[in-house]
C-alpha cells in the first residue's frame, strides 16, 4: 500500500531562535505575516559542542561578529531576546514545542529569526490545528500551527530557507 504525501511544501527540522505569543481577539483583525530586517536580534550562544577548544574559538568569533554587526547596523526598531529551539518549518505551517498551554483554534504570532545577514525576523500568524504530548519532555506540548494571512513574499523566504537547509544536509552527507 502506497501512502500519498499530502504536503504542499517541504519541511525542515532545524534549530532557530523564536518566540510565540497568543493574540487577543482584538489583535487578530488586520494582522498579516511579515518580514522585518530592522530588528536587532540578541540570541543565546549556539548549542555547545563536545570539542571545548572549538567551542571557545566559536564563542570568540561570535562575540567579534556581534560587535561588528552592532557598529555597522543602522538604528534598530526593537530588541528581541530569543533562544535557540528545535522546530519543524514549511511554507504552510510550523510545528514547535511549547510549555505554555494553548488550545486548538488559538491564533498565535510566532517571531522567528532566519539565519541570514542582515537577520530577517519573520512575524508569522497562525492557527493551532494540532496539539500532542512531547515524548521525554514533561509539561511540554508539540503544537502544529497553520499559517494565516501569509503572502507569497513571506512564504518564499521560508521556502528558500527550507531548500538551503536541505542542500546543507545533502552536502554534509556527501563529504567523506
Evaluate whether residue 60 is within a structural domain. yes
Q: Is the pLDDT of residue 3 over 70?
A: no
Mean pLDDT of 14-26: 85
pLDDT at res. 169:
74
Evaluate whether residue 4 is within a structural domain. no
More confident: 8 or 3 = 8
**What is the domain range of residue 33?**
11-174
Q: CATH no. for residue 169?
A: 2.40.10.220
For 104-147, write each residue's pLDDT tens digit.
999 999 988 887 666 688 899 999 999 999 888 888 999 999 99
Evaluate whether residue 74 is within a structural domain. yes
pTM confidence score: 0.68
Evaluate whether residue 1 is within a structural domain. no
pLDDT at res. 44:
54
Q: What's the number of domains the chain is made of?
A: 1
Q: How confident is the model at residue 6 (pLDDT cuts 50, 70, 90)?
A: low
Q: Is the pLDDT of residue 9 over 80?
A: no
**What DSSP string describes the chain?**
-PPPP--SS-EEEEEEEEEEEEPPHHHHTT---EEESSEEEEEPPPPPPS-HHHHHHHHHHHHHHHHHHHHHSPPPSEEEEEEEEEEEEESSEEEEEESS---TT-EEEEEEEES-SS-EEEEEEEEEEEEEEPTT-TT-EEEEEEE-S--HHHHHHHHHHHHHHHHHHHHHHH--
For 23-79, write each residue's pLDDT tens digit.
888 887 778 888 876 655 555 556 667 888 887 888 788 777 777 766 665 555 554
Evaluate whether residue 3 is within a structural domain. no
pLDDT at res. 40:
54
Evaluate whether residue 148 is within a structural domain. yes
Amino acid at each position: 500500500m502506497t501512502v500519498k504525501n499530502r504536503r504542499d511544501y517541504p519541511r525542515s527540522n532545524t534549530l532557530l531562535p523564536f518566540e510565540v505569543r497568543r493574540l487577543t481577539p482584538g489583535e487578530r483583525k488586520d494582522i498579516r505575516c511579515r518580514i522585518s530586517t530592522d530588528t536587532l536580534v540578541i540570541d543565546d550562544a549556539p548549542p555547545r559542542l563536545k570539542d571545548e577548544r572549538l567551542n571557545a574559538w566559536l564563542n570568540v568569533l561570535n562575540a567579534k561578529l556581534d560587535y561588528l554587526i552592532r557598529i555597522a547596523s543602522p538604528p534598530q526598531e526593537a530588541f528581541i531576546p530569543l533562544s535557540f529551539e528545535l522546530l519543524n518549518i514549511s511554507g504552510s505551517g510550523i510545528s514547535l514545542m511549547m510549555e505554555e498551554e494553548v488550545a486548538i483554534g488559538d491564533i498565535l504570532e510566532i517571531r522567528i529569526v532566519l539565519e541570514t545577514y542582515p537577520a530577517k525576523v519573520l512575524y508569522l500568524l497562525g492557527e493551532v490545528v494540532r496539539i500532542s504530548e512531547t515524548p521525554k519532555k514533561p509539561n511540554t506540548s508539540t503544537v502544529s500551527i497553520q499559517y494565516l494571512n501569509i503572502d507569497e513574499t513571506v512564504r518564499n523566504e521560508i521556502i528558500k530557507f527550507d531548500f538551503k537547509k536541505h542542500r546543507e544536509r545533502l552536502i554534509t552527507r556527501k563529504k567523506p
